[in-house]
Structure 1
Amino acid sequence: MDHRHDIGWDEATWLNPPAATARDGADLLVTARDGSDFWRTTGYGFVRDDGHALLTGFPAGSAVEVTFLARFDALYDQAGLMIRVDESSWIKAGVEMSDGVPHLGAVVTHGRSDWSLSPVPDWDGRLVTVRASRTGDAVTVRARTPEDPWRMVRLAPLEAEAEASAGPFCCSPRRAGLQVRFTRFTTGLADTALHEDPVG
């Protein structure tokens, strides 16, 4: 049984409002600000905390899903799902343009950021769903397109007692004009096992 329920776009709160938002039917169109990003120190030596994230509560035992569509043209164009405790403890996962190809990846940050990527050239211009499921001291992140099965993206630590929020995010570190179409934002029950496919 599908226990997910939709989160209205007006029911969540922006961290760093984007350049523009608009409604197209049930979808939310988000235009990222030029230079927006989330990153802390590693490899690049700078801290960025001005990307755009629309966040709702993410308690233990729950899952959040975000579905989106975008054309990524510039290096580091990105969109997906963010999980946030504070400015130095967060996770972002989704699709990001790197070396001219869309990549599925995640950045996990606890004081300093790391970054993992896997190329998904066939996902270009397709709907993508990212799901984060919180159980115990961990978050399991998966992603898929409507035509593909779930892929494991990351198993990352998140303290069981941490007060976290989660929701759709996008950034455009190198240009203005990136627009992302978010088509669904849902919450529900956490997955019951690490290697079990989520409901739906």
Structure 2
Amino acid sequence: MKKRLDTSLLVWMNRPSLWTIGRSRIIFSTEPATDFWINQARQLNKFNGHALLLPIRQDFTLTVTIRAQLHEVYDQLGIFVMSDPSCWCKAGIEYRDEQASSVCSTVTYGGFSDWAGMPISSGIHTLTLRLHRWQNEFRVEFSFNGQKFKWLREFALPFTEGVAQVGFYACSPKDSTFDAEFFDMMIESLQWEEKRNKL
């Protein structure tokens, strides 16, 4: 059964200076030079982005609507799932320029972060994301209207004792800041049809 996510269970990772957490809405301001990105070959290890997470052991489907006025390259916000600081995924909106942003995702494992995405208009400020978990497999979907969802990415992550840290993130890798807003946060039993058939 779908229910509202209990925001009192969320715990900060790299808490920003300005934030508000309500029962149905979260708003916080990113701080400059914050990011989640790892590339050992280039000696890059950025893990100071802002995230609100809670541990979840079972399979689930998490839905959230995100909103922000992004204005600097690489400004980003979305959904976050983590095994540990070297093994995680982020997915959401990332700003490029005045014409285009991206709906994108990054999976980090083995010392490297990748990037995959598709262009959208930079005039799109609101997006609904849906994250499914089945064991150690995940699927991320997005929707412009909160009704019709499109596939974004499927991936797998290993987890210690099956516990995934799941929630929401935002960061500003350059010298900028913006207000990240998260609302309509719902969690329910697994809705990933291909996997539900295996239960």
| TM-score greater than 0.5 by the shorter chain | yes
Secondary structure at the counterpart of residue 120 of structure 1: strand
Which residue in the other structure is 2:124 paired with? 124
Which residue in the other structure is 1:27 paired with? 25
| Counterpart contact for 1:58–1:64, Cα < 8 Å | no
Which residue in the other structure is 2:115 paired with? 115
Alpha-carbon displacement from aligned partner over 1:14-40 (angstroms, at most 9, x marks no partner):
111023113589422110111110001
Alpha-carbon displacement from aligned partner over 1:26-76 (angstroms, at most 9, x marks no partner):
422110111110001168541100111111123242122221111111000
4+ residue runs of structure 1 moved beyond 6 angstroms? none
| Counterpart contact for 1:72–1:102, Cα < 8 Å | no
Q: Distance in 2 between matches of 1:108 and 1:30?
A: 24
| Counterpart contact for 2:72–2:176, Cα < 8 Å | no
TM-score, normalised by the number of residues in structure 2? 0.86
Which residue in the other structure is 1:95 paired with? 93
| Counterpart contact for 2:34–2:48, Cα < 8 Å | yes
Which residue in the other structure is 1:146 paired with? 145
* Structure 2 gap ranges (5+): none
Task: Give the count of matched residue pairs.
Answer: 193
Aligned letter for 1:104? V
2:164 matched to 1:187? no
TM-score, normalised by the number of residues in structure 1? 0.86
2:173 matched to 1:162? no
2:103 matched to 1:104? yes
Identity %: 24
Which residue in the other structure is 1:75 paired with? 73
Aligned letter for 2:95? M
Q: Distance in 2 between matches of 1:55 and 1:23?
A: 13
Aligned letter for 2:52? L
Aligned letter for 2:10? A
Once the two structures are overlaid, the 10-residue window that deviates more, 130-139 or 112-121, is: 130-139
Q: Distance in 1 between matches of 2:146 and 2:163?
A: 34
